[in-house]
Structure formats: C-alpha cells, structure tokens
A and B are shown apart, each in its own frame.
Chain A
Amino acid sequence: MPSEPRTNDGRDQAEDRVFKALADPTRRHLLDRLFERAGRSLTELESEVQMTRFGVMKHLRVLEEAGLVVARRSGREKLHYLNPVPIRLIHDRWIDKYTEPRVAALSELKSQLEGDPMSTIAEPATAQVYPMFIRATPEQLWEAITNPDLVEQYFYGLRIEIADGRRRVQGPDGELWGEEPVAECDPPRRLVHGWRSTYDPDLAAEPESRVSWTIEPQGEHGSRLTLVHDGLERSPKTAASVAGEGWMLVLCGLKTLVETGQPLGA
C-alpha cells in the first residue's frame, strides 16, 4: 500500500500536553513529591515549593490537563494523585523503542520499509476481552462493581453510581463527568452499560462504546469476572486508551480490594 500521511491528532495533542507539563522544573518537582507519597493536599504541596498557593494551583492544573495528576475530593480537602500512565506511554513511544532493540521493533521497521502501514500502527481491537479470576462469591463481586464507595477505591478515584437505568460518573469535585445508559442489570451476574471516556475531551468526542461485566462462579476457584469492552469500531482513540494496562489496572485493583480489603495502591 502506498503510504498516506497518518493523522493522529488526538495522540499528538495528548503528547504535547505531557511534554509541556514536564518541561517545567516546578512541575517535575511536584510529580516527584506525589511519586513519593500519593494523596497530598494543596497546602502540603505548597509547603514543598517556594511559591504562592495560586502558583502551585496553576502548575497542578497544567499537570491535571496533561492527565499526569488526578485530584479527588476527600472531605473538605482535594487530594492529588500521580497518574503515571501518560509518562509511561511517552516512555514506550519515545524512549523504550530507541533503547531496547527488540524483535518487534525490527519487524515494525521491516514492514515500514516494505510499505505496510497496517503493522506499524496496529489497530487496537474493537472488542477487548479481559478475564480475571477472583476469590469471592458472585454477590461480593457484584457489590464491588456497583457500590460507589468500593468502586472509587479502584477506578481511578472516580465515583460511579448505577441507578435508575443510568451509570453516572462523578469527577473529584463531585461534578457530573458523564452519564451513560445501563443496558442490562442482572445481579449478581451481568451488567452492561455504555462507555464514553469523559475524563479526556478528545476521547469523549468519539461515539459511545459498550462495557459488559459478566460474573460466573468457578467452584473452588472463586468467580470469574470477564470484562468485555466492545462496540469500539468508530472509537479508535478510546480503544487504544483503555487497552491492556488501562483496564487491567482497574480489574487488578478490584481483585486486590475484594480479596484483601485494601486498595492496590495503599
């Protein structure tokens, strides 16, 4: 196939925001502080840098816009958490590739030379399936998926409520981030709802896709939770963003919480 210019505006813009956010020593310093210990308030962070409260807020906003910091309301305070995923993606895209000569990179180069654009940017799957085995009863898993107090402990700090045929997602300040229809709700077996990545304007602009949670008892192996994210045909950026580590972090956090009573990151 002749190579056509690839448009990848969404990813480019997201990368721009991350690079800009990282191009400032104060912001890098703030990230280091959050790396050392997550869940810090503005007042705490302010004491770490020689800067006015307003200045720190401005920097935190840039970091939040780049997706590097997630803020979450806790009582009267807003606590800040590091989200390492965008840096990881930059690392994978811009650093890893050039430092680790791996077979995959070579085969990419080969197909690039041969003019096959398909294998240089593999399409993320339009139906993604994630099975997870968890030592819990189906009822316990259902509770973990539908109780907002439990969900926020593993779902990037978001508050998610399922009621009246809707799935409502609230941001850290309690503002409504998104609302999708619940297509199926069959406790403790199956929950199906619409998906829109409202945490990122670029992704939120794509058509709604679909997420299904299926719980099946496995006898001595506890239960199997299978998450399927499909209907992603016209939402390639969303598909790429949730693939692999995106959903696995949620599902691993859920498993840890159910089995140990503690969040993965604590």
Chain B
Amino acid sequence: MTTQLQETAMTNHREFEATQVYQVFIKATPEQIWEAITTPEFTQRYFHGARITVTRDGYRSLGPSGAVWGDAAVLEFDPPHRLVHGWDSLYSDELAQESTSRVTWEIEPQPGAYCLLTVTHDELQNSPKTARSVAGQGWMMVLSGLKTLLETGEPLAA
C-alpha cells in the first residue's frame, strides 16, 4: 500500500502515469460494493451509462445504445475482495488501437461501517492516450458516482 500511495502521489505531477491508483472510502458492505461493480443494473447508473457484466468468464461492457464498449479477460475473480480484468477502450476508435491495460479493484473493510475501495489502472505504458483519458477526473467521476449511488440509492447525475 505504501507503494500505491507513492504512485498515487506521483500520478499527480506527470503528464500521464502507467500505473494509476484511485481510492475512495464508501459507507457500504464489501458485498454491496462488489455487486455495484459487477452488475449492469448498477453500473449503468454511475459508469457513463455502461452496462457492465463481470463473471469469472469475462468482463463485458455495453454502451447505452448496445455498442460494445469493453470485452476483456477476467484475470482474478474473488468476491467480494478482489477483481482484476483487462481494459480495452473500445468506446473510442482512437483509444481502442492501444494495447490492453489492466484494472484491479480491491475492497477492504475499515474500522467503522465503511470500506476502502482501491482501483489500480496499470500496464498503461504502451497506451498513453488511454492513460491520459482515464487519469484523474476520469476515474474519480466514476468512483464519486459509485459512492453516491451506494450511499444514497440515487445516482450522482440527476
């Protein structure tokens, strides 16, 4: 985690970082967070409208119009603790040309009724455009929306 913190900090002062770490504290159980990450009914309310289904067999994301936004391998599937999947930005022709990167979700209960959710987007060294597009606000808007949805039952976007 120390390494992650340092990398988080480093994300801040480079143009793009091949390893990006984002953390949010969410007042919800690990099971609730896991469900919100892996089922389309939840993801469409905070992930730019994407309907995302994650199972042991794969990660699939469909845009609101049914276009395939993501179709990648699931590398680790350990509910409700840890999920690792590939990332191809199929929602953009330009970004889709870049190499597959990797996204790791880690859910850790904290003292008190909340959890720390850590999202690590890495293996971006050959995908600078993707790295820039998801950096900072990109992931933070998604994670802010996830937190709002779980804590209030309503999406962030009115």
Q: How far is the CA of A259 from the CA of B148 in the complex (A)?
A: 7
CA distance A252 to B10 in the complex (A): 21
10 closest cross-chain pairs (CB), A and B = A92-B1, A133-B144, A122-B6, A244-B5, A252-B25, A265-B112, A125-B9, A243-B9, A244-B8, A125-B12
Which chain A residues in 75-112 approach chain B with CB under 8 Å? Answer: 82, 84, 88-89, 91-93, 96-97, 102, 104-105, 108
Determine if A127 and B12 form an interchain contact, defined as CB atoms under 8 angstroms apart.
yes
- A82-B111, A244-B23, A245-B23 are known contacts. Are A135 and B9 too (CB-CB below 8 A)? no
Selected from A124, A132, A256, the residue in CB contact (under 8 A) with B27 is A256
Residue of A128, A248, A252 with highest tally of chain B CB at under 10 A: A252
Interface residues on B, range: 35 or more
Distance of A224 Cα from B6 Cα, bound (Å): 24
- If A84-B111, A265-B112 touch, whether A131 touches B137 (CB-CB below 8 Å) is yes
Please tell me if B75 contacts chain A, counting CB pairs below 8 Å: no
Q: Which residues of B contact A264 (CB under 8 A)?
A: 25, 27, 112, 114
Which of B's residues lie within 8 Å of A, judged by CB? 1-13, 19, 21, 23-27, 110-114, 116, 136-137, 140-141, 144-145, 147-148, 151-152, 154, 156-158
Known: A255-B147, A264-B25, A264-B114. A245 touches B5 (CB 8 A): yes
The chain A residue sitting closest to B13, CB to CB, is A125
Q: Please name all residues of chain B whose beta carbon is closer than 8 Å to the beta carbon of A127 when the two chains form the complex.
A: 12-13
A-B contact pairs, 18 of them (CB 8 A): A92-B2, A96-B1, A124-B6, A124-B9, A125-B12, A127-B13, A131-B136, A133-B144, A133-B156, A134-B144, A222-B156, A240-B9, A243-B9, A248-B23, A248-B25, A260-B152, A264-B114, A265-B113
Binding site for B on A (CB under 8 A): 35, 38, 82, 84, 88-89, 91-93, 96-97, 102, 104-105, 108, 121-129, 131-135, 220-222, 224, 239-240, 243-245, 248-249, 252-253, 255-256, 259-260, 264-266
Complex-state Cα separation, A88 to B7, whole angstroms: 17
- The docked-state distance in angstroms from the alpha carbon of A129 to that of B19 is 16
List chain B residues, Cβ under 8 A from A222. Answer: 156, 158
Q: Which chain A residue shows the least CB distance to B5?
A: A244
| Inter-subunit contact A122/B10 (CB<8 Å) | yes
A240 to chain B, nearest CB (A): 8
Among B10, B112, B145: residue with most chain A CB under 10 A: B112
Instruction: From known contacts A122-B6, A127-B12, A245-B5, infer whether A221 and B116 are also in contact, taking CB-CB under 8 Å.
Output: no
A92-B2, A104-B7, A252-B26 are known; give 20 further A-B pairs, CB within 8 A.
A97-B2, A105-B3, A129-B136, A133-B144, A134-B144, A135-B154, A135-B158, A220-B157, A222-B158, A224-B137, A240-B9, A243-B6, A244-B4, A244-B8, A252-B25, A253-B25, A255-B148, A256-B27, A264-B27, A266-B113
Q: Are B9 and A252 in contact (CB under 8 A)?
A: no
Is there an interface contact between A249 and B25, defined as CB atoms closer than 8 Å? yes
Tell me, in angstroms, the Cα distance from A152 to B137 when the chains sit together: 27
Taking the closest CB of chain A, its distance from the CB of B101, in whole angstroms, is: 14
A129-B144 contact, Cβ under 8 Å, with A89-B2, A92-B2, A108-B3: no
What is the CA–CA distance of A105 and B154 in the complex, to the nearest angstrom?
39
* Contact for A133 among B7, B114, B141, CB less than 8 A: B141
Q: Is the CB of A255 within 8 A of B144?
A: yes
CA gap between A108 and B4 in the complex, in Å? 12
Contact of A220 with B151 in the complex, beta carbons under 8 Å: no
